[in-house]
Amino acid sequence: MAEEPHMDQSLFKYEIVAEDPKTHARAGVLHTPHGDIETPIFMPVGTKANVKGIPTETVKDLGAQIVLANTYHLAMRPGADTIAELGGLHTFMNWHGPILTDSGGFQIFSHSDAVKLTDESVRFIATDYDGSHVFWTPEDNMDIAMKLGSDICMQLDQCPGYPATRKFVERAVELSSIWAERCYKAHTRDDQALFGIVQGGMHLDLRLRSLKHLEEIGDFPGYGIGGYSVGEPHEVMFETLEPLVSEHMPRLKPRYLMGVGNPTTLVRGVGCGIDMFDCVLPTRTGRMGTAFSSQGRMNLKNAKFAKDPRPIDEKCTCPVCTGGYSRALIRHMVTQKEMLGGILLSQHNIYFLLDLMRRARQAIIDGRYAEFQAEWMASEGAADF
């Protein structure tokens, strides 16, 4: 039996504004203490309290409504106590809109052999910092999240990679469910929403088991969907993601597909009924010289752009494409390792995804998302892998 909510989460309301008649896409509004979020939405990632290379005011000007930060990295440096002492994450980041912090679970388990798991906790070696041995319980994780003070935080979970044996994934579901209950009981901030995370790998029955456990634990105001985009082919992901979201997840709760950020997967995910996405892809690939575009993914290091006076994407209205920066100039900066090249590409890529979601939302409201998705899939832009 589901418990009565152990605290007031009334500051977090999700309203459905429109539902597409031919797909499972929906447009909504998620209300938070630091502002409303119009969905579907892409959320830029500011892992260590900043979106790499981009000032906060620029991130906002690009159209971002909510940004992410990473619990593990912030707990390591500068530390949750320091951030709390400085007024919380919004003040520390100089971002005064909504913030989501992930649990740090994905980063912890990326330490692979250095991780030891029990029902009680996770122990790992912070090899990417000082090599210290770190011990985290779900209660510790919630304590850090509450000190950071994000609008939305995520439960501590185990994220199995791909491929993995069914036995391994089954154990990850069990452990994530145990930890979800402890996170739910330990979390006490009324002005911070705690989302549960659905795990289960590529096994639909395990996904449904995970979701059932979360619903039995209590009234989570939203759900993350973890354990995708961890090495599996995209078609394999959608085999279980589509029925999970469209047929089984609660209709009146926001659904957040974690760690997915290429344009085509966003378009297809919205069609399944996903509301929220995040990924480091737009900034990471931008720093590597790569751009999303209406012609597909572009490698600006390519010699064919050396004398190309056109903007990155002639259909794009971002500040980079409308600001006079040519493909030739950006290629020059990227090949000469001028930092501005990666910064401009990061700005373009973030804007591209935000604008794609704006147009998707309008298509849902207009009742033509099926046509929008079909047009995207038939376009050159869909070649984004």
Structural domain spans, the chain: 42-279, 281-377
Give the residue-averaged pLDDT of 246-269: 97
DSSP category for residue 247: I
Binding residues for Zn(2+): 316, 318, 321, 348
List strands edge to edge, sheet with 152-154.
41-44, 276-279, 255-257, 223-225, 193-198, 152-154, 99-102, 67-70
18 phi, psi to nearest 5 deg: -155, 150
As annotated, the binding site includes 102-106, 157, 199, 227, 316, 318, 321, 348
C-alpha torsion 321→325→330→333, nearest 10: -140
pLDDT at 5 over 80: no
DSSP state of 304: G
On whether the CB atoms of residues 270 and 241 are closer than 8 A, the answer is no
Task: Specify burial of residue 110 (Cβ count, 10 A radius: 0-12, 13-18, 19+).
Answer: middle
Q: At residue 3, does pLDDT exceed 70?
A: no
How high is the pLDDT of residue 6? 61
For the stretch 339-350, pLDDT in tens is 999 999 999 999
pLDDT tens-digit map of 267-279? 999 999 999 999 9
Residue 2 has a pLDDT of: 47
25-34, 126-135, 244-253, 306-315: least confidently modelled range: 126-135
Assess whether pLDDT exceeds 60 at residue 4. no
Low-confidence winner among 23-32, 315-324, 376-385 (lowest mean pLDDT): 376-385
Model confidence over 231-243: pLDDT tens digits? 999 999 999 999 9
- Within 13 Å of residue 235, how many CA atoms lie on the same side as its CB? 0
Mean pLDDT (whole number) for 138-150:
98
Nearest-angstrom CA–CA distance, 351 and 61? 9
pLDDT tens digits for 307-358? Answer: 999 999 999 999 999 999 999 999 999 999 999 999 999 999 999 999 999 9
In tens, the pLDDT along 153-188 reads: 999 999 999 999 999 999 999 999 999 999 999 999
**Under CATH, which architecture does the 42-279 domain have?**
Alpha-Beta Barrel (3.20)
Paired tokens of 141: 């994780």
Of 215, 158, 218, nearest to 184 (Cα)? 218
Query: What confidence score (pLDDT) does residue 284 get?
Result: 97
Distance between CA atoms of residues 364 and 26, nearest Å = 6
Indicate the range of 24-33, 100-109, 198-207 predicted with least confidence.
Answer: 100-109
Query: Catalytic annotation on 140?
Result: no
Give the chain's radius of gyration (CA, Å). Answer: 20
The residue-averaged pLDDT of 31-46 equals 98
Predicted pLDDT of residue 107: 79
Contact call for residues 306 and 328 (beta carbons, < 8 A) = yes
102 is catalytic: yes
β partners of residue 102: 70
Identity of the residue numbered 298 = M
User: Alpha-carbon distance 44 to 55, whole Å?
Assistant: 13
352 in Cβ contact with 266 (< 8 Å): no
Q: Tell me how far apart the alpha carbons of residues 56 and 67 are, in angstroms, rounded to a whole number.
A: 10
Residue 324 burial class via C-beta count within 10 angstroms: exposed 0-12, middle 13-18, buried 19 and up = exposed
Catalytic, out of 102, 151, 313, 384: 102
Looking up tokens 């790998």, which residue turns up?
Answer: 201
What is the predicted pLDDT for the residue at 103? 87
3-state secondary structure of 102: strand
Tell me the pTM: 0.96
**What's the mean pLDDT in 100-124?**
85
Mean pLDDT of the chain: 95
DSSP annotation of 132: -
Binding-site members for substrate are 102-106, 157, 199, 227
Q: Which of 275, 278, 313, 384 is catalytic?
A: 278
